[in-house]
Amino acid sequence: MALAAASTSTVPRESTQQAIGYPSLFLLVLIGALVPVVPTGALVSSAAVVAFHQTAPFSLLLVFVTASLAAFLGDATLYWLGQRGMRSRNGSRWLEAIRARAPEERLAQSREKLAEHGVAVLVLSRLVPAGRLPVMLACLVAEWPLRRFSRGNLPACLAWALTYQVIGILGGSLFPEPWEGVVAAVGLTVVISVVPSLVRRVSR
């Protein structure tokens, strides 16, 4: 009797979390792709931790689909806005935002790699912290059409969502409580995002 009561109380709670969680994840990742100040990697890892501890089937798959689709649509929208800025005499605030986060040195490196390796650079740029916008700007400068950019960006978003979801699954499997796994996953994503910039500063 107690088990039945517990199960009935668990189902609404999980269904409520899913009804709120997936749209929120989609919206936040979409905003994070357009305005790169939202820690989207940490969001995906945290959502994967919560999904790992849920009993509902396909929770992890839904996190993966939601995150990768939101990232893809956000990147495509930002690229389209950047194209409009490139064609405009006065540019646009979206194009300026991309340029502000793409230093000349990183842009030059991205243009060289893009010329040598093409679409493969897009996949790597999504996995390297602060690597997405310099490569996106290099594609804009090279006048890649949106269709070509999207073809390369699709596997990039899939690989990105999978990578941060694996981080969340690892965090969820190491700790019995979801909040502990979330803290571990967020800490790991912060380390991943900070270490490359520290290495570059030290090397300089």
Integer Cα distance of 63 and 65 in angstroms:
6
Look at residue 11 in the predicted model and tell me its pLDDT. Answer: 42
Positions in the chain whose pLDDT score sits under 50: 1-12, 199
Whole-angstrom CA distances from 112 to 21, 99, 119, 123 are 40, 17, 13, 15
Q: Tokens for 116, please give them.
A: 């040598």
Residue with tokens 């749209």: 23
